[in-house]
Protein backbone atom coordinates (compact mmCIF):
# COMPACT_ATOMS: atom_id res chain seq x y z
CA UNK A 1 0.00 0.00 0.00
CA UNK A 2 1.24 3.49 -0.83
CA UNK A 3 1.68 5.64 2.23
CA UNK A 4 -0.73 8.57 2.47
CA UNK A 5 1.03 11.81 1.55
CA UNK A 6 -0.43 14.02 4.23
CA UNK A 7 0.97 13.71 7.72
CA UNK A 8 -1.50 14.40 10.50
CA UNK A 9 -0.03 16.14 13.51
CA UNK A 10 -2.01 17.23 16.49
CA UNK A 11 -2.20 17.61 20.19
CA UNK A 12 -4.74 16.99 22.92
CA UNK A 13 -4.20 19.50 25.71
CA UNK A 14 -6.20 17.48 28.25
CA UNK A 15 -6.99 19.70 31.29
CA UNK A 16 -4.26 22.24 30.56
CA UNK A 17 -4.13 25.88 29.45
CA UNK A 18 -6.29 28.82 30.46
CA UNK A 19 -7.70 30.98 27.69
CA UNK A 20 -4.76 33.39 27.92
CA UNK A 21 -2.28 30.50 27.69
CA UNK A 22 -4.26 28.93 24.87
CA UNK A 23 -4.20 32.13 22.84
CA UNK A 24 -0.47 32.66 23.31
CA UNK A 25 0.22 29.07 22.22
CA UNK A 26 -2.10 29.30 19.23
CA UNK A 27 -0.46 32.52 18.05
CA UNK A 28 2.92 30.81 18.09
CA UNK A 29 1.56 27.76 16.33
CA UNK A 30 -0.07 29.87 13.62
CA UNK A 31 3.32 31.39 12.90
CA UNK A 32 4.91 27.94 12.60
CA UNK A 33 2.36 25.97 10.63
CA UNK A 34 2.58 28.11 7.50
CA UNK A 35 6.07 26.70 6.99
CA UNK A 36 4.73 23.16 6.69
CA UNK A 37 1.82 23.12 4.24
CA UNK A 38 2.20 19.36 3.73
CA UNK A 39 1.04 18.60 7.29
CA UNK A 40 -2.53 18.59 8.61
CA UNK A 41 -2.41 20.26 12.00
CA UNK A 42 -4.97 20.08 14.75
CA UNK A 43 -5.31 21.11 18.39
CA UNK A 44 -7.79 19.78 20.91
CA UNK A 45 -8.13 22.27 23.76
CA UNK A 46 -10.47 22.28 26.77
CA UNK A 47 -13.98 23.59 25.98
CA UNK A 48 -13.38 26.97 27.61
CA UNK A 49 -10.67 27.77 25.07
CA UNK A 50 -12.64 26.80 21.97
CA UNK A 51 -14.40 30.09 21.13
CA UNK A 52 -11.23 32.10 21.64
CA UNK A 53 -9.16 29.85 19.44
CA UNK A 54 -11.84 29.60 16.78
CA UNK A 55 -11.71 33.38 16.46
CA UNK A 56 -7.94 33.26 15.96
CA UNK A 57 -7.83 30.42 13.43
CA UNK A 58 -9.78 31.64 10.44
CA UNK A 59 -8.77 29.44 7.54
CA UNK A 60 -8.38 25.88 8.78
CA UNK A 61 -4.59 26.25 8.95
CA UNK A 62 -5.12 24.33 12.17
CA UNK A 63 -8.20 22.20 12.73
CA UNK A 64 -9.82 22.59 16.11
CA UNK A 65 -11.27 19.73 18.12
CA UNK A 66 -13.28 19.17 21.29
CA UNK A 67 -12.07 16.56 23.78
CA UNK A 68 -15.49 14.96 24.19
CA UNK A 69 -19.16 15.43 23.30
CA UNK A 70 -22.49 14.01 24.40
CA UNK A 71 -24.48 12.32 21.66
CA UNK A 72 -27.78 14.04 22.51
CA UNK A 73 -28.73 17.49 21.24
CA UNK A 74 -29.75 18.66 24.69
CA UNK A 75 -31.12 17.33 27.95
CA UNK A 76 -30.64 16.76 31.67
CA UNK A 77 -26.91 15.95 31.49
CA UNK A 78 -25.12 18.22 33.92
CA UNK A 79 -21.56 18.91 32.93
CA UNK A 80 -21.88 17.66 29.36
CA UNK A 81 -21.55 19.49 26.04
CA UNK A 82 -23.84 18.80 23.09
CA UNK A 83 -23.14 18.59 19.36
CA UNK A 84 -25.32 21.66 18.76
CA UNK A 85 -23.13 23.71 21.07
CA UNK A 86 -19.92 22.56 19.43
CA UNK A 87 -21.40 23.07 16.00
CA UNK A 88 -22.19 26.69 16.87
CA UNK A 89 -18.52 27.28 17.69
CA UNK A 90 -17.48 25.71 14.40
CA UNK A 91 -15.39 22.91 15.84
CA UNK A 92 -13.91 20.58 13.20
CA UNK A 93 -13.00 17.44 15.13
CA UNK A 94 -14.54 15.54 18.04
CA UNK A 95 -12.13 13.39 20.00
CA UNK A 96 -14.04 10.31 21.09
CA UNK A 97 -13.09 7.65 23.60
CA UNK A 98 -9.67 8.81 24.78
CA UNK A 99 -8.38 6.22 27.23
CA UNK A 100 -8.73 8.67 30.13
CA UNK A 101 -12.44 9.02 29.30
CA UNK A 102 -12.76 5.25 29.14
CA UNK A 103 -10.74 4.58 32.31
CA UNK A 104 -11.86 7.37 34.63
CA UNK A 105 -15.29 8.34 33.30
CA UNK A 106 -16.69 4.95 32.47
CA UNK A 107 -17.11 5.39 28.70
CA UNK A 108 -17.99 2.13 27.04
CA UNK A 109 -17.52 1.09 23.42
CA UNK A 110 -21.28 1.35 22.95
CA UNK A 111 -21.36 4.93 24.21
CA UNK A 112 -18.44 5.71 21.91
CA UNK A 113 -20.40 4.32 19.00
CA UNK A 114 -23.34 6.68 19.74
CA UNK A 115 -20.93 9.60 19.83
CA UNK A 116 -19.18 8.60 16.62
CA UNK A 117 -22.42 8.36 14.70
CA UNK A 118 -23.69 11.65 16.11
CA UNK A 119 -20.42 13.41 15.26
CA UNK A 120 -20.75 12.17 11.68
CA UNK A 121 -24.37 13.29 11.42
CA UNK A 122 -23.25 16.76 12.44
CA UNK A 123 -20.46 16.80 9.88
CA UNK A 124 -17.65 16.71 12.42
CA UNK A 125 -14.55 14.57 11.96
CA UNK A 126 -14.66 11.94 14.70
CA UNK A 127 -11.20 11.15 16.04
CA UNK A 128 -11.91 7.75 17.52
CA UNK A 129 -9.33 6.69 20.08
CA UNK A 130 -8.60 3.05 20.75
CA UNK A 131 -5.93 1.34 22.80
CA UNK A 132 -5.35 -1.76 24.87
CA UNK A 133 -4.40 -2.00 28.57
CA UNK A 134 -1.07 -3.65 29.42
CA UNK A 135 -2.69 -6.89 30.51
CA UNK A 136 -3.99 -7.47 26.97
CA UNK A 137 -0.51 -6.98 25.60
CA UNK A 138 0.92 -9.40 28.15
CA UNK A 139 -1.61 -12.04 27.22
CA UNK A 140 -1.08 -11.44 23.53
CA UNK A 141 -4.71 -10.45 23.00
CA UNK A 142 -4.16 -6.82 21.95
CA UNK A 143 -5.30 -7.28 18.36
CA UNK A 144 -8.55 -8.98 19.35
CA UNK A 145 -9.17 -6.30 21.96
CA UNK A 146 -8.61 -3.48 19.46
CA UNK A 147 -10.69 -5.25 16.87
CA UNK A 148 -13.66 -5.21 19.20
CA UNK A 149 -13.14 -1.52 20.01
CA UNK A 150 -13.10 -0.60 16.32
CA UNK A 151 -16.02 -2.80 15.31
CA UNK A 152 -18.26 -1.41 18.04
CA UNK A 153 -17.18 2.22 17.52
CA UNK A 154 -17.88 1.94 13.77
CA UNK A 155 -21.10 -0.06 14.00
CA UNK A 156 -23.76 1.51 11.79
CA UNK A 157 -21.29 3.88 10.12
CA UNK A 158 -21.76 3.87 6.34
CA UNK A 159 -18.93 3.55 3.81
CA UNK A 160 -19.31 7.17 2.82
CA UNK A 161 -19.22 8.31 6.46
CA UNK A 162 -16.20 6.16 7.24
CA UNK A 163 -14.12 8.31 4.87
CA UNK A 164 -14.51 11.15 7.34
CA UNK A 165 -13.30 9.22 10.38
CA UNK A 166 -9.81 9.42 11.86
CA UNK A 167 -8.50 6.75 14.20
CA UNK A 168 -5.92 7.24 16.95
CA UNK A 169 -4.19 4.18 18.32
CA UNK A 170 -2.93 4.96 21.80
CA UNK A 171 -1.96 2.01 23.99
CA UNK A 172 -3.15 2.78 27.52
CA UNK A 173 0.24 1.79 28.94
CA UNK A 174 2.11 4.23 26.69
CA UNK A 175 0.19 7.37 27.65
CA UNK A 176 1.23 10.06 30.12
CA UNK A 177 3.94 10.60 32.76
CA UNK A 178 4.23 6.91 33.63
CA UNK A 179 3.81 5.71 30.08
CA UNK A 180 6.20 3.19 28.54
CA UNK A 181 6.91 4.19 24.93
CA UNK A 182 5.76 1.46 22.55
CA UNK A 183 8.23 -0.29 20.25
CA UNK A 184 7.86 1.16 16.73
CA UNK A 185 7.67 -2.37 15.23
CA UNK A 186 4.80 -3.22 17.57
CA UNK A 187 3.03 -0.04 16.51
CA UNK A 188 3.58 -1.00 12.88
CA UNK A 189 1.95 -4.40 13.40
CA UNK A 190 -1.01 -2.92 15.25
CA UNK A 191 -1.60 -0.19 12.67
CA UNK A 192 -1.53 -2.73 9.85
CA UNK A 193 -4.10 -4.76 11.75
CA UNK A 194 -6.33 -1.72 12.29
CA UNK A 195 -6.16 -1.03 8.54
CA UNK A 196 -7.09 -4.65 7.85
CA UNK A 197 -10.09 -4.48 10.17
CA UNK A 198 -11.23 -1.22 8.56
CA UNK A 199 -10.86 -2.94 5.21
CA UNK A 200 -13.10 -5.79 6.32
CA UNK A 201 -15.70 -3.26 7.45
CA UNK A 202 -15.59 -0.73 4.63
CA UNK A 203 -13.49 -2.19 1.82
CA UNK A 204 -9.81 -1.67 1.11
CA UNK A 205 -10.23 1.57 -0.81
CA UNK A 206 -12.07 3.31 2.00
CA UNK A 207 -9.73 1.85 4.62
CA UNK A 208 -6.78 3.35 2.76
CA UNK A 209 -8.35 6.80 3.11
CA UNK A 210 -8.77 6.68 6.89
CA UNK A 211 -5.86 8.31 8.71
CA UNK A 212 -4.54 6.15 11.55
CA UNK A 213 -2.56 8.22 14.03
CA UNK A 214 -0.31 6.97 16.78
CA UNK A 215 -0.18 8.47 20.26
CA UNK A 216 1.34 7.78 23.67
CA UNK A 217 4.65 9.28 24.85
CA UNK A 218 5.51 10.56 21.39
CA UNK A 219 8.60 12.76 21.57
CA UNK A 220 11.49 13.98 19.45
CA UNK A 221 13.35 10.69 19.89
CA UNK A 222 10.64 8.38 18.62
CA UNK A 223 8.76 10.58 16.13
CA UNK A 224 10.55 9.27 13.04
CA UNK A 225 10.65 5.57 14.01
CA UNK A 226 6.87 5.72 14.43
CA UNK A 227 6.26 7.57 11.18
CA UNK A 228 8.46 5.11 9.31
CA UNK A 229 5.85 2.42 9.95
CA UNK A 230 3.78 1.93 6.84
CA UNK A 231 0.31 2.43 8.29
CA UNK A 232 1.16 5.29 10.63
CA UNK A 233 -0.31 8.42 9.01
CA UNK A 234 0.35 10.85 11.79
CA UNK A 235 0.96 11.49 15.45
CA UNK A 236 -1.36 12.45 18.25
CA UNK A 237 0.85 14.11 20.82
CA UNK A 238 0.33 15.10 24.43
CA UNK A 239 3.14 16.48 26.58
CA UNK A 240 5.73 16.92 23.84
CA UNK A 241 3.49 19.36 21.97
CA UNK A 242 2.10 21.45 24.82
CA UNK A 243 4.96 23.84 24.39
CA UNK A 244 4.77 25.29 20.88
CA UNK A 245 8.55 25.36 20.48
CA UNK A 246 8.87 21.71 21.36
CA UNK A 247 6.08 20.97 18.86
CA UNK A 248 8.01 22.99 16.27
CA UNK A 249 11.08 20.79 16.79
CA UNK A 250 8.97 17.74 15.97
CA UNK A 251 7.61 19.43 12.84
CA UNK A 252 11.14 20.27 11.70
CA UNK A 253 12.31 16.71 12.25
CA UNK A 254 9.53 15.30 10.11
CA UNK A 255 10.01 17.95 7.46
CA UNK A 256 13.74 17.13 7.21
CA UNK A 257 13.01 13.42 6.97
CA UNK A 258 10.42 13.97 4.22
CA UNK A 259 12.85 16.09 2.23
CA UNK A 260 15.49 13.36 2.43
CA UNK A 261 13.02 10.88 0.98
CA UNK A 262 12.42 12.96 -2.15
P1 LIG B 1 1.30 11.81 25.96
O2 LIG B 1 -0.29 11.82 25.77
O3 LIG B 1 1.90 12.15 24.62
O4 LIG B 1 1.56 12.91 26.96
O5 LIG B 1 1.68 10.48 26.45
C6 LIG B 1 -0.85 11.20 24.66
C7 LIG B 1 -2.36 11.24 24.72
O8 LIG B 1 -2.95 11.01 25.77
O9 LIG B 1 -3.00 11.50 23.68
Assign 94 to helix, strand or coil: strand
170 CB within 6 A, ligand 1: yes
DSSP string, 197-210: HHHHHH-HHHHHHS
Q: Write out pLDDT tens, residues 103-127.
A: 999 999 999 999 999 999 999 999 9
Mean pLDDT of 234-247: 98
Percent of the chain at pLDDT exceeding 70: 99
Average pLDDT over all residues of the chain: 97
Spell out the residues 6+ positions from residue 46 whose beta carbon is closer than 8 angstroms to its own.
13, 14, 15, 16, 17, 22, 67
181 CB within 6 A, ligand 1: no
Interatomic CA distance for residues 215 and 194, integer angstroms: 14
Mean pLDDT of 26-31: 98
Percent of the chain at pLDDT exceeding 90: 97
Instruction: Kindly give the number of the ligand 1 atom that is closest to the alpha carbon of 175.
Output: 5
In the predicted structure, residue 1 carries a pLDDT above the cut 60: no
pLDDT of residue 204: 97
pLDDT of residue 2: 52
Instruction: Kindly give the number of the ligand 1 atom that is closest to the alpha carbon of 236.
Output: 9
CA of 76 to the centre of ligand 1 (A): 31
Q: Write out pLDDT tens, residues 155-192.
A: 999 999 999 999 999 999 999 999 999 999 999 999 99
Mean pLDDT of 211-230: 98
In the predicted structure, residue 88 carries a pLDDT above the cut 60: yes
- Marked catalytic residue, from 95, 100, 132, 170: 170
65 CB within 6 A, ligand 1: no
- 170 annotated active-site: yes
The model carries a pTM of 0.97
User: Among 72, 98, 96, which residue's Cα sits nearest to residue 85?
Assistant: 72
Mean pLDDT of 51-65: 96
Q: At 262, is the pLDDT very low, low, confident or very high (cuts 50, 70, 90)?
A: confident
129 CB within 6 A, ligand 1: no
pLDDT of residue 261: 87
Mean pLDDT of 199-226: 98
pLDDT of residue 17: 98
Half-sphere exposure of 108 (CA within 13 A, CB side): 2
Amino acid sequence: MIKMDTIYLGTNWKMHKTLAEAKAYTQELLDYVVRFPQFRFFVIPPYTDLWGIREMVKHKEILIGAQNMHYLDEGAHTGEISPRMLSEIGVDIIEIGHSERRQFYGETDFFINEKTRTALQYGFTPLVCIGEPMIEKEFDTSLAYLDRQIRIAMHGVTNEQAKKVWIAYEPVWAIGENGIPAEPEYVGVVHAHIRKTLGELFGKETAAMIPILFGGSVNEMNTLPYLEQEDVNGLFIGRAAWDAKSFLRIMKLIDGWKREQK
